[in-house]
Amino acid sequence: MADRVQGVFDGAGVHWRGSRWGGYAAILEEVASLNPETAVAFRKADQKQRLLFEAAGQVFQLDLASRLWTKIDRKLVRRSLEQVRNGSALPGRGDDKARNILLELVAAASLADIGFHADLTDDEEDVRLVHDVIGRVAVECKRPSSLGALEANLKRARAQLVTRLANGAAYGIPIIGMDRIAGLSGALMKATTTEELDKALFEMRTTVIREIVRLCRKPHVNFGPRVPVAFVIVVGAALVTHPKPNAVVPVTIVHPFTPGDAPVPDELDAILTAPPRSGLWDEFRA
């Protein structure tokens, strides 16, 4: 994984050594060189464990986005990577611009994966999509810190999308990054088996979607008919202890759903239900 960090940043012409990503590469290389004796001591070092999982989660996101952003404007990718490079190795409690922008990269790449031309923007919506059939679609990304913070994040997304729709977007799409809610940002998510992990993530995803749907019944949150689809995205790393001890596994969910009662227009439904190119998407359920 450390090689992927170098490949992505060097390929975009962005200096990264000396940043948090240099530290991520170093700890991933350290893990790769562990032997049975040094591994025991490493697993007892809580700070190193936290850094390892944050490194793995951030690198998984960077790697996922980089494999799919060939249709995204390279100048905007470089500008975004210059901001993603910054920030602290471990996230704090407040807003985190570097990690927010990394979510935007993942969102842009994931939507490009089903046929949108996706661009990051300078000072308008987080992601601008253009499709040959439906035209321009505005995207707003949010990373709430908890379920309790969902309502405020949805209200901000709604206000921003109302403006984008008034300025010519055909549809709006809110994207909720679940990494903080799911405990995949700056914390260790643990499970005994991958099956247990999948179940926990499914339950978390279901809980978040149900809460979004509930909140969208409120007039000040309801997105209206031109925002018929929303997404939850989770990309990170988790610890699975069986059958191999302390295996770091990637977590990837890119899941569309309907946040309100508005029907999904046939033209948009046809795009979202088209076979994905990467296999990253799970089944669209209207």
Token pair, residue 285, equals: 């359920």
Instruction: Indicate the residue type of 48.
Output: K
pLDDT for position 37: 86
Q: What is the pLDDT of residues 116-148, one digit of tens each?
A: 887 777 666 678 888 888 999 999 999 999 999
Q: What average pLDDT does this structure show over 256-284?
A: 78
Give the whole-angstrom CA distance, residue 25 versus residue 29: 6
Cα-based distances in Å from 164 to 105, 113, 128: 19, 23, 10
pLDDT for position 146: 93
Query: Across the chain, what does the average pLDDT equal?
Result: 87
Q: What is the pLDDT of residues 115-124, one digit of tens each?
A: 888 777 766 6
Q: Output the CA torsion sign for 61, 110, 180, 128.
A: positive
| More confident of the two residues 166 and 3 | 166
Give the whole-angstrom CA distance, residue 163 versus residue 66: 30
Are 80 and 109 in contact, with CB atoms under 8 Å apart?
no
